[in-house]
Each structure stands twice: as C-alpha cells, then as structure tokens.
Amino acid sequence: MLAALYNPLGSPLSNIPVAGWYQITTTNGGQFSFNLMDESGRVLLEIVNFSGKAEAEAAIAAWQQNSPFADRYDRQPYYEGRLVFWLMDAAGKGLVQSGIFETEEARDAAIAATIANGPTKDIRYTA
C-alpha cells in the first residue's frame, strides 16, 4: 500500500466531531484505492493499489480502528531532513507509511487531521 497525506496527542480523541468520509474508487487498471476526506472534501489521505474492493474495505477498517489513538503514530525521519510517520496497530505492526513532510508542524497537523477524521464510518463508492 502506498499512502500520501496532504495536509496535542494522547489517547483516542472521541470528543472531536467526525465529519469526514472514506471514498473508495476503482483505478483505470481495475485496482482499488481510497481517500480519507475531511468535512470540506479535502483529501487527507490517499492509499492505492488494492487488488479488490474487500481488500480496500479491510484497510479502511484497520485505519478506523487505529487512527483515533495518538500513540499509534510513529514519527520518523525520512531523507534529507524530511519526515514521515507510520500508523501502527495495537501490537506495534506498521499498517501504512504517510507521505513525506517538510516540517514537524506539517506532519503533526496531518496526524491531528487523521485522528479527527479517521474513525468515521461513512464510506462512499465511486466508479
């Protein structure tokens, strides 16, 4: 799976209103991908290269389950001062690596946005 994130952490932030949604699409090659959208329709996360819809749905379920927990985001250096993070499951297994960030502030803002929107149960499908 490849992921890209476009744009005060602790335990689950269940008090933050969730207005985002997941958008599952089919690529030209017949593969599936999904985006995590915020309430304004901005893409927060893009994950691509699933061979089937069930695989994409399973990845969304893992994201929904793990994204509310701030301690499941493993912040890492990348290359030439750039930064990434991994979303981990409860056992510490890496689920997906983020896109690349130029600053800690940008990376932390992306994490905060996915904590807030990741738990949504709203899944939409497009052709």
Cα separation, 101 vs 20, whole angstroms: 22
pTM of the predicted protein model: 0.78
What is the largest distance, in Å, between two alpha-carbon atoms of the chain? 40
Domain hosting 52: range is 2-125
CATH of the domain at 55: 2.30.29.80
What's the pLDDT tens digit per position in 4-49? 444 333 334 344 455 899 999 998 889 999 999 989 998 888 888 8
As for how many domains the chain has, the answer is 1
Higher pLDDT, residue 127 or 48: 48
